[in-house]
Chain A
Amino acid sequence: MLDLLPQALSLIFTVEGLLVLTFGTMLGIVLGALPGIGSTVAVAMILPFTLTMSQAPAILLLLAIYAGSVYGGSISAILINTPGTPQSAATCFDGYPMALRGEAGKALGWATMASVVGGLASSVVLILAAPQLAAFALNFGPIETFALIVLGLTCIVSVSEGSLIKGLIAGVLGLFLSVVGGDPLTGEPRFTFGSFQLIAGFDLLAVVIGVFALSEVLLRASQRDEANVALIDFRGIVLPKLGEWRGRIGGLLKSVAIGNVIGIMPGTGAATAAFISYAEARRSAPTRANFGKGEPDGLIASESANNAVTGGALVPTLALGIPGDAITAVMLATLTLHGVTPGIRLMQDNPILIAAIFTGFFVVNLMLLPLGMLVSRVAAPLLRLREAYMLVVITLLCTLGVFFVRGNPFDLLVMAAAGVIGFVLRRQGYPMAPLVIGMVLGPTLEISLRQGLIITNGSFVQFFTHHPIAVALILAAAAMLLLPLVRAIRARQG
Chain B
Amino acid sequence: MTLSLNSERAVVALILLLLSIALFVTASRFPASDMGSAFDPGFFPRIVLGALIALAALNLLTDLRSGTGWALEGLRSVLVMMALLVVYVKVMPDLGFFAASVVLSVAFLLLLGVRSPLGIAVVALGVPGALVALFNHILTMPLPTSPLFWWI
Contact = CB atoms under 8 A, between A and B. Distances in A.
Contact of B36 (A45, A173, A416, A458): A458
Majority SS of interface residues in chain A?
A: helix
B14 to A, nearest CB: 12
B82 A176 contact: no
B77 interface: yes
A224 B39 contact: no
A416 B26 CA distance: 25
B41 interface: yes
Interface string A38-63: 00010001000000000000000000
Interface stretch (A243-251, A288-296, A358-366, A421-429): A421-429
Contact of A191 (B23, B36, B105): B23
Interface in B69-86: 74-75, 77-78, 81-82, 85-86
Nearest to B114: A388
Contacts of A391: 108, 112
B39 A222 contact: no
Nearest to B72: A222
Interface bin, chain B: 35 or more
B143 interface: yes
B152 interface: no
A224 B78 CA distance: 11
Interface in B36-95: 36-39, 41-45, 48-49, 51-52, 55-56, 58-59, 62-63, 74-75, 77-78, 81-82, 85-86, 88-90, 92-93
Nearest to B107: A392
Contacts of A417: 86
B78 A403 contact: no
Contacts of B92: 399, 409, 412
Contacts of B45: 176, 179, 190-191
A384 interface: no
A395 B78 contact: no
Interface in A446-460: 446, 449-451, 453-454, 457-458
A169 interface: yes
A389 interface: yes
A223 interface: yes
B113 interface: yes
A44 B69 CA distance: 51
Contacts of A389: 109, 114, 119, 123
Interface string B17-34: 000000100110011010
B105 A172 contact: no
B1 interface: no
Contact of B89 (A183, A416, A454): A416
B48 A450 contact: no
A188 B41 contact: yes
Given A185-B39, A221-B111, A169 B89 contact: no
Contacts of B89: 399, 409, 412-413, 415-416
A191 B48 contact: no
A423 B11 CA distance: 15
Nearest to B73: A222
B100 to A, nearest CB: 9
B136 to A, nearest CB: 11
Nearest to B124: A392
Nearest to B56: A169
A396 B114 CA distance: 17
A223 B77 CA distance: 11
Given A388-B114, A428-B8, A190 B109 contact: no
A41 B104 CA distance: 27
7 contacts: A218-B82, A221-B81, A223-B74, A224-B112, A392-B127, A396-B105, A428-B12
Given A191-B27, A458-B37, 8 more contacts: A176-B49, A176-B52, A179-B44, A224-B74, A389-B109, A389-B114, A412-B89, A417-B86
Interface of A: 41, 45, 163, 165-166, 168-169, 172-173, 175-176, 179, 183, 185-186, 188, 190-191, 214, 218, 221-224, 227, 385, 387-389, 391-393, 395-396, 399-400, 403-404, 409, 412-413, 415-417, 419-420, 423-425, 427-429, 446, 449-451, 453-454, 457-458
Interface of B: 8-9, 12-13, 16, 23, 26-27, 30-31, 33, 36-39, 41-45, 48-49, 51-52, 55-56, 58-59, 62-63, 74-75, 77-78, 81-82, 85-86, 88-90, 92-93, 97, 101, 104-105, 108-109, 111-114, 119, 123-124, 127-128, 131, 135, 139, 141, 143-144
